Amino acid sequence: MTETKQELRRWQSVPFTKVKIEDDFWRPRLEVLRQVTLPACLDQCERTGRIANFAKAGGLMDGGFEGIYFNDSDVYKVLEGSAYSLRIKRDPNLEQDLDRIIEWIEAAQEDDGYLCTYFTLEAPERKWTDMEKHEMYNGGHLIEAAVAYYEATGKRKLLDVACRLADHYDRLFGPGKRHWVEGHEEIELALVKLYLATGEERYWKLSLWLLEERGHGNGVGEIWNKEEWGPPYCQDDVPVKQIEKVTGHAVRAMYLYTAMADVMLASGQPSYVEALHRVWSSTVGRNMYITGGIGPSRHNEGFTHDFDLPNDTAYCETCAAIAMAFWNHRMNLLFGDAKYADVVEREMYNGALAGISLSGDKFFYVNPLASHGDHHRTEWYDTSCCPTNLVRFLPSVGQYAYAVTEKGIVVNQYVNGEGELPLRGSGEASVRIHQRTNYPWNGRIELEIHPEIADEFSLRLRIPGWCRNYRLSVGGVEIGQDEALTRQGYVVLSRKWEPGQILVLELDMPVETVRSRPEVEANRGHICFQRGPIVYCAEAVDNAALAYESFAVAADQSFYLHHQREFLGGVTTLSCREENGNPITLIPYYAWDNREPGYMQVWIPEAENSTLYTR
């Protein structure tokens, strides 16, 4: 058996609805999202005409199209996030409002299943002429919203709209029909979701066909005509099996790789294994920031060349960080390696979370790692993909906590709360796991295991890549690291588990000093600090006596840790002194720009004569 086939695991994802989050970190954020962020985004979609476009296209209201040709997608993403929120806590008023919007969406759908309000209202003669115009991108987000709303409420109206739209695509495109290379990937992964919801195999097969269209000269439209962008911008330069490195627009690339993994999960065929491994190494090893941010260039909202990672001009779109979580979650399910869950964690606590204010009503589109004080969150954008992406990402973070294997359970993320997990191959048997932890501020995790009946299965616990040492005990008896097998970043315990058995994992969580690889020119002579999964930064409001880039810190500097429950939503700050003796306070990167304006920097000049392990 080849190494490639050995690596293909196809673990089963656990829906976030089976994971009850009860911790002090995520639960307040989910409540802010429900009470503030969702209503704010719905209101913005109303006020900017995004929702009214559907009523106009359906003949329920007079007027022309308002906004940008891809604005339908924002409405769909808010619907999807609202559906996730309803699954956590049912809200009749919200549901009634969503039903109204769905009525308008249904009215906007044309008789043949076509649905894109821009073309219906403004340019019906130009349908399917420019692959950059996001027709299938919009449709992909409709499909994801439809599946989510059906699963939340049992109501089929939007799902039926989505099926008619997908059937329209399937009639026009495919083997022996018209060529199509969607400029902005999204439809490919959405079709797999529709297949999983309906059991209709031709949906994932259409997704596979769309993937295979790339790299064969079939792309036509605005992107392809721009010399400085061209096919690499939308990953149409080589066939997907031949992808060697990450290129082009960051969000589009991540959605493509997510879809490649999804098709493999659906089909069970290892078609894209080598390509996914190559492009993952390219992305994470040579093109990812310490925060998990990707895509350094504003010009193409994406990638340039390896190790080009500037800080103050870093683009790092919030959507790209979210899409990295999507992709790496699928990679973890495919290959069973904890390194992918490590990336998901990095995005959860840094790259993606920085995109939303603590108040829940202001957002970053761009996430630099340094600012002179002129970069701030805003309430909305003309292109508001990032706020609406956060609306659907945050309520569903519970889905990243666990996975199910043929032989047991995987614990990927440490979140105080409870998971109800199936045991594959055991009929209807399930296992309830109750996590008690103050993660990410404390590395102690207590897991109480409750199988329905005493049963033998394996329990895999992720040992994060940042953790150098850990301790493990079961029922108060310490398990030596030589007793528990460690595989692909997991400690594996296989035994007969009794109801109520308690396992304690203690992850050492010192402050870690990190240097970039020497190829990253922007960070030469600089260091940054991380504790557990949290990346830290210096913000002017905490360091008034020090100007931007005017101070240096020794790599072996000792830090004072102070957990402040009422500060910035509850954070652990790091305090030390810089080389001239002035005090410095560092806060989590995700929490910056929530107070008065001023500079911010993640990478800090390194004081001379300090020593450091290079990561």
Residue 518, Cβ density class (10 Å: 0-12 exposed, 13-18 middle, ≥19 buried): exposed
Q: Report how far residue 373's alpha carbon sits from residue 314's, in angstroms, rounded to the nearest whole number.
A: 15
First to last CA, the chain: 34
Residues β-bridged to residue 402: 411
From the list 108, 95, 182, 190, the residue with the least C-alpha distance to 147 is: 190
Cβ-based neighbour number of residue 242 at 10 Å: 12
Residues near 607 by Cβ (< 8 Å), separated by ≥ 6?
A: 552, 553, 554, 555, 557, 578, 579
Polymer length in residues for the chain: 615
Instruction: Name the helix (H) or strand (E) containing 137.
Output: helix 135-153
| 80, 185, 188, 301: the active-site residue | 301
Q: Which amino acid is it at 278?
A: R
Nearest-CA neighbor of 161 among 122, 123, 108, 85? 108
Q: Annotated catalytic, 163?
A: no
Beta strand 455-462 pairing with 408-411: parallel
Q: Can you read off the two tokens belonging to residue 151?
A: 């699963």
Task: Write out the two tokens for 611.
Answer: 């020593």
- E strand or H helix at 204, and its extent? helix 201-212
Contacts of 272 (CB under 8 A, 6+ apart): 240, 241, 260, 261, 263, 264
Long-range CB contact pairs, 197-204, < 8 A, 24+:
197/147, 197/150, 197/151, 197/159, 198/159, 198/163, 200/163, 202/170, 203/166, 203/170, 204/262, 204/263, 204/266, 204/267
The question of whether 606 is a catalytic residue gets the answer no
Rounded to the nearest 10°, the torsion over CA 86, 91, 97, 101 is 10
Given the residues 385, 467, 528, 537, select the one marked as catalytic.
385
| Dihedral sign (CA 490, 494, 495, 498) | positive
**Which residues does the annotation mark as catalytic?**
301, 385
